[in-house]
Amino acid sequence: MLDFDKLIDEHLKKENRPKGIGRYYPSEAGTCMRKIWYSYKFPSEVEPELLKIFEMGNIVHNFVVEVLKSEKVKDIELLESEFPFREEVEDFMISGRIDNLIKIKASGKIYLVEVKSTKSIDYVKEASPHNVQQLQLYMHFTGVHNGFLLYIDKSNLKTKTFEIEYSEEEAKRILERFKSLHKHLKEENLPEAEGRSHKEIKWMCGYCEYKDRCHTDTPKAKHEEE
């Protein structure tokens, strides 16, 4: 019998390449700093199910590009998609890929558009803070100070769009986080378990592959038992 699940796993499997200290990614801007630190010090192979989720995200983004490029869409011009971003900050680098750059024809305004796929659009009530932080970095370094976060449901292609206002103060705060991460990595100093300490990102612990290591390094405090 044909095991297509196995074929998909084989197709998506990627070589596990350790991340180099000194190169950081905007998509991790709002992630628990300890988790990012672990990912550099103790790289682990991405689970097949997670690779499938990532690939679904790629498929959804490719569809969005098709829509933005379509001759049927008259109000928007797609200027660029999946274009590289790279910025040197002190003695390290922040790099990634920006999803889309568009122009609204009526106003002539240029926008960055970051696309995020979701299991259910009904649960998306506002732009996720860590997605906003990623877009803030892009807006800061590209000089394009208009941005949209586009959430699209993987099951039915329904969407929600949030216009994000650029904040220089927020962008600088995020940069300081990367500076702090870089310092912790160079000095091999374990950072705070932010996911366990801050309620707004506690949900990240449920998806963290380093949860056991984190609790071994820092046993649960009393307030975490609640």
Please, is 187 exposed, middle or buried when counting C-beta atoms within 10 Å of its C-beta (0-12, 13-18, 19+)? exposed
Average pLDDT rounded to a whole number, residues 139-167: 96
* Mean pLDDT value across residues 142-149: 97
Domain layout of the chain by residue ranges: 21-213
Task: Give the per-residue pLDDT at 226.
Answer: 47
Residue 1's pLDDT is what?
A: 79
Angle at CA 178, nearest 5°, toward 50 and 199?
65
Structure confidence at residue 114 (pLDDT): 97
List Cβ neighbours of 181 (8 Å cut-off, separation of 6 or more). Answer: 24, 33, 36, 37, 191
pLDDT > 90: what percent of the chain? Answer: 73
Distance from C-alpha of 152 to C-alpha of 149, rounded to nearest angstrom: 10
Q: Write out pLDDT tens, residues 163-211.
A: 999 999 999 999 999 999 999 999 999 999 998 988 888 888 988 989 9
The DSSP element (H or E) to which 118 belongs, if any, is: strand 110-118
Phi, psi of 224 (to 5 degrees): -80, -10
Residue 215 has pLDDT above 70, yes or no: yes
Element (H, E) at 49: helix 48-69
pLDDT reported for residue 10: 86
CATH class of the region 21-213: alpha beta
Query: Which amino acid is present at 211?
Result: K
Give CA–CA dist 120/113, Å, rounded: 20
Q: pLDDT above 70 covers what percent of the chain?
A: 96
Stronger pLDDT, 222 or 165, i.e. the higher one: 165
Element (H or E) spanning 62, and its range? helix 48-69
pLDDT of residue 53: 84
Q: Which of 6, 7, 31 is nearest to 19 (CA)?
A: 31
Indicate whether 74 pLDDT > 60: yes
The predicted pLDDT at position 223 comes to: 46
Whether this prediction's pTM lies above 0.75 is answered by yes
Token pair, residue 151, equals 């959430």
- Per-chain mean pLDDT for the chain: 91
Query: Residue 224 — pLDDT band, cuts 50, 70, 90?
Result: low
Residue 80, φ and ψ in degrees, nearest 5: -155, 155
pLDDT at 15: 65
Maximum mean pLDDT: which of 11-15, 32-36, 202-206, 218-222: 32-36
Calculate mean pLDDT across residues 150-164. 96
